[in-house]
Chain A
Amino acid sequence: EAGVVQSPRYKIIEKKQPVAFWCNPISGHNTLYWYLQNLGQGPELLIRYENEEAVDDSQLPKDRFSAERLKGVDSTLKIQPAELGDSAVYLCASSSRLSSFNNEQFFGPGTRLTVL
C-alpha cells in the first residue's frame, strides 16, 4: 500500500514569491491534515479536512495561507506571499474512519521550504 505522497520534497524561493505544496493521501483515507514543523519542534496542525470540508483551520494564517481539497482526495497548500519565517517543513498526514477509534495518522515525508 502506498503511503502519503508529497511534492515537491524541497523548495527554495525568494521572499514575497508564491509557493504551493501538493499531497496525495493514502487511498480511502477521508481525513487529511497539514502540519507545520519548525526546526527542533514538533508538528503543529494548520488545517484538517474531512473529505472536502475544512473542519479545523483555526491555526491557518489566512492572510497568506490557503488550502483546498476539491474532490476529497488530493490537497494543495499555498502560501502567497511567502515570508522568511515560513521556512519550515510542511507535513501532510491522513487517517481513515476505520481507524477513527485510535485516530492513527500516517505522515508523508514532508516538503522542506526555504525562503531567502
Chain B
Amino acid sequence: ELKVEQNPLFLSMQEGKNYTIYCNYSTTSDRLYWYRQDPGKSLESLFVLLSNGAVKQEGRLMASLDTKARLSTLHITAAVHDLSATYFCAAVSGNTPLVFGKGTRLSVIA
C-alpha cells in the first residue's frame, strides 16, 4: 500500500530564509506531484516529477525527486510572505489513486 509522509507538518520561517519540505513515500511511485492550497481555496498544481533526478524550479520554489530514496523535496529560497500556504505532495503508482501527504502548513513571517 502506497503511503506518503511529509515533514514538517508545520513550518514558520522568516522572510529571506531558505528551507526544505520533505516528502517520503513507501513503495515505488511513477509520478510525484506538489500542490499548493491557500485557505478556503482549491489545490493548485506546482510541479509534476516523472523520473529519478528530476528537478523543476518555479520562482522561489524548487522540487526534486530521488526515486531510489523514495524522497522528494520542495526547497524554498529566500521566502516571502506570499508563499504562506499549505503544500501537499502526492504520489501515484501504476493505476492506484493519487495518495496525498498530510500537508505542510507554511507561515512566512517578517
Contacts and interface: CB of A to CB of B under 8 A. Distances in A.
A65 to B, nearest CB: 16
A41 B45 contact: no
Instruction: Give the dominant DSSP class at B's interface.
Output: strand
Contact of A91 (B33, B43, B92, B97): B43
A104 B42 contact: no
B90 A42 contact: yes
A44 B100 CA distance: 7
A75 B98 CA distance: 20
Contacts of B103: 40-42
A45 to B, nearest CB: 4
A107 interface: yes
A42 B92 contact: no
Interface string A88-109: 0001010000000011111111
Contacts of A40: 102-103
Contacts of A106: 45
B101 A42 contact: yes
B102 A103 contact: no
23 contacts: A3-B42, A4-B42, A41-B103, A42-B88, A42-B100, A42-B101, A43-B43, A43-B88, A43-B100, A44-B100, A45-B98, A48-B97, A56-B97, A59-B97, A91-B43, A102-B31, A102-B48, A103-B92, A103-B98, A106-B45, A108-B42, A109-B42, A110-B42
